[in-house]
Every structure is written in C-alpha cells, then in structure tokens.
Structure 1
Amino acid sequence: MTGKQFSSVWLREPRKTTSPGRSREEIIAATLELLDAEGLNGLSMRKLGAKLSAGATSLYWYVANKDELLELVYDEIWGDIELPDPAATHWRQGAALLARSMRAAILRHPWSADLIGRMAALGPNALGLTEKMRQMFSHAGFAGLEIDYANSTLTAYVFGITIPEVAWNNTMADREYDPEEMRSALIKAAADFPDLLASADQVIDAEPGEMRAMAFEFGLASVLDGLERRLVT
C-alpha cells in the first residue's frame, strides 16, 4: 500500500517571473502584510491578487495552492530569528538569544502560531536555523540524538509558552473587558482557594506584558539550567 504523496513548494525549482513586480519575493512580502493585518482567515488568493494589482489566477504560476503560499511566507518567520555563530558564542548565550528572538517573531506575526506543528518547515531559513541550532548544542557538548532532544526541548518551551500568549492576545483584542470587572470576577471565582487568591492579587496589580516577559525569562533560565545539568552528569 502506498501513502499519499508528499508535496512542497520547496521540492521544486521556483518558476521565473512572468511580469514586472510579480516575483516570488514581491508575493511573499504582500502576503506577509496581509497576514499581519488580517490573520490567516483574512488571506485569500483573491485578496492577495487585488493587493498586487494582479488576478488571482496569475499567482498560481508561482504556487499550486494556498498551502504552498503559506509555506513560502512561513519560512520568512524563521528568517527573523537570531542565532549568533555557534562557534564564537557560549551555547547558553546563543540559546537565550534564540529563544527570545523566536518568541518575539511569533508575537510580531501571531498568525504563525497556527502553522507551528501542522506545516512542514522545509524552507532555507528554517533548515538553516535548525542546522545552526544543532551546531550550537554540539559545541555545548551534546552528542548523537541528544542534540536533537536539546533542540526540541528549547523550541517546545518557546512554543508552549508563546502560543497560548498569542491566543490570549487575540481574545483580548476582540473583547474589551473592564479591568475592575475582571478583578471582581477572579476574586469571586477564587474565593475558596486562599493561596490562589493571594497570588491572583499580585497578578492583577501587575502589567500583563511585564508579567508574561518575566514568566518567560524564569522558564527559559530553568530550561537552560536543566540542559546544562545534563552536560555535567
């Protein structure tokens, strides 16, 4: 029995431009702008064609379908992520910069959170970053499959804490909750849980962005501490 054939825009040579201003780069840039403004639900070949002053049909010269278009633009996100030369930077410093940059890239382009885990990252930016990450953990002292495990541990932490943040930001953008009403609701819900209530008071009084950033840094340090501990045991 043969499975369904896997296809990707990255598995074939890009087609040459057929008209001025219709290069793959132009299409990617316009798609990024549209996604950042309207999200995944706001993207259509018709809208993109209108933005480029071209018919939707002409876009199919470059991509077979909408998923291929998303593959192209998804790889741009990976190109936004910073990672210094693994041979010239201590691995903890490099990993911390990578994690912060990855979180920032996802928050800048919140639609990308919906593609993580369901769209293959086979573009040159994604593969190049993965290669540098492997080099970073190899220089740190990991070997064999542990290099891949360290990679997945770090990225899973960033994805795990950032994707819910994106979902919450999207929810808050759609609903203008009154802060005092939210405070009263939380206090009422936590009335039978004194420890949680005491913690909730601290959280309510804090600036949400600062709290999330602090939580991210705490978790990041803990993950890096854990990885470093494995190197000395």
Structure 2
Amino acid sequence: MTRKVRFSDKATVHHIPAVPPLSHSPPSPASSGSLPTPPNLPYTLPGSTPYPFVLPPKPAAPLRHQPQLHAALAGPQPNILYDCSYSPSHLSILNRHISPRFASESATYPPTTSMTISSPSLPWTLRVTPRHGVISVSDVLYAIYDGLRSGIYPQDFESMTRDNQKRVRKAYENRYRRMRSSTAALEKANGVKRVDFLMGHTVFMGLAPTRNPTHWVLITSK
C-alpha cells in the first residue's frame, strides 16, 4: 500500500502576552582590603624550584556581550520538562517543582527584545518577539511551539535524502496516531509539519549560545 504525505500551505503563528520580566538585582561590590593569602595547594613545578606551589590558571572571563539564559531555557539541562510537540500550556502540570511564575520571567539577563532560534535539523529559523516589553520564557517556548507547528511545502520534503524522508514520514505518522481519535484525523489531514523534521527528537533540552548574542541553537532529544 502506498503511503501519502500531506502538506499544509498555510502557517499560523500564535502568541501569548508576556508578563513583566523578573527583576534582577545587581551583584554586590567586592569588599575592599588587602589581597587574600593564596591557599597551600599541592601544585608543584617539575624539577628544582624555589616555589612551594603554583596556582592553577585563572579561568577565562565570560563574554560580557553574551546574555545569560533563564534556568528554564539554558541547555543542555534546563530545569523544566517540556516536549516541543505539545503546547506550553501543559507546563504547569509537568513542572510543579518550580514556581508557576517562571514562564513570565525574562528569558535572558540582561533582558532582550530580539531572539532567533535555529536547529541543525531544521532549514528554517524561528524568530522570537515579545508581546510586551522584553522577551519572556513563555515567549520563547511559544515561539518554538508555534514555529514547529507550521506546515511545510513539498519542496522542503523533496529536498531531503530518502532516508530522512522516511524518518520524517514516520514522525508524522507517530504524531497523529498518538492523539485522541477526535483530533487524530484532523492532524493527519493537516499533513507534515516542521516538528516532524526533528524526527522524533522533540524533548526540549534547552538552548545553546552562538557568537551572535541574539541567536541561539535549539537542543532536543528523544
């Protein structure tokens, strides 16, 4: 029996309003005074040396232009459980171990108003924009979900290798078959979506930074 893959020629993007971001307190200034005495560490120089120890190399200072991600978004181990194929509205049920207000907190520190997200598995870039103020955790998660719910064009599918086409088709079939009977038929009729290009790797594992402080890479797994 020949399998058919359906495609949607329309993509609908949904947004939710963002709640004012979480405030961040500036770090306290370093205390003044004399330099601390180095600890007696067991690091020795090879051969004869007048020094009892040497200090380990000083760690490189972090890039000042690179924002810090919220713990719910920082890969590869974000502190939330989330499957990108489901709406973020289910987050409060799966993540009772953290405050339900986390979704309204700022996605980065310092806050930002512009973000783009890419994935090695996707030929598209997802754009994140705030509904109000700065980008929140919720804005990021809904941008990922809405972006992955968009339909694809036949040429997107046809440009892949045959092996990857099989994996995408399998992900598409598994996605609509696991749904309730009342919605499975509709999902099947809507055809392959961008989320199927993840080939079943839909568990959110956070975002990874790039050289561009406003661009991040989506990390997913099975």
Q: If the length of structure 1 is used for normalisation, what is the TM-score?
A: 0.24
**Comparing both chains, which one has the higher relative contact order based on Cα–Cα distances under 8 Å and sequence gaps of 6 or more?**
2
Structure having the larger proportion of residues in strand: 2
Q: If the length of structure 2 is used for normalisation, what is the TM-score?
A: 0.25
Structure having the larger proportion of residues in helix: 1
**Structure with greater Cα Rg:** 2
